Amino acid sequence: TQLLEQSPQFLSIQEGENLTVYCNSSSVFSSLQWYRQEPGEGPVLLVTVVTGGEVKKLKRLTFQFGDARKDSSLHITAAQPGDTGLYLCAGNSNSGYALNFGKGTSLLVTP
């Protein structure tokens, strides 16, 4: 099982601040995905990155896949209360049938 380490575990910031969360592994992944989960609901896919060094933008969210495809980061610009949630990264090895998830970063954005 490929281990995905996410940091920080918890993050509490004020509206308007910028933040970056990280997802790291010693394993190489064919792709990495980021999900956001709100309390009492299932995770929802935000983005999939597949190419080493790839950068994808989703409005105020910027996702980057490491050159070696072992790590990824999520940067949020000018955070809003609606960004509050649990951010999970998940990776799929070349031979795996199922995604392995990190433990997540719990983000709280206060007005």
- Of 18-26, 54-62, 63-71, 102-110, the window that binds other proteins (rule: CB under 8 A) is 102-110
Judged by CB under 8 A, does residue 88 bind other proteins? yes
- E strand spans, 59-99: 61-65, 71-76, 85-92
Residue among 85, 87, 84 nearest 110 (CA): 84
- Measured CA to CA, the distance from residue 28 to residue 11 in angstroms comes to 27
Tell me which of 51, 53, 96, 110 binds other proteins, using CB under 8 A: 96
Measured CA to CA, the distance from residue 84 to residue 11 in angstroms comes to 10
Query: Interface with other proteins by CB under 8 A: which range of 12-20, 29-37, 51-59, 75-83?
Result: 29-37
Would you count residue 74 as binding other proteins (CB under 8 A)?
no
**Is residue 100 close enough to count as binding other proteins by CB under 8 A?**
yes
84 belongs to the binding site for other proteins (CB under 8 A):
no
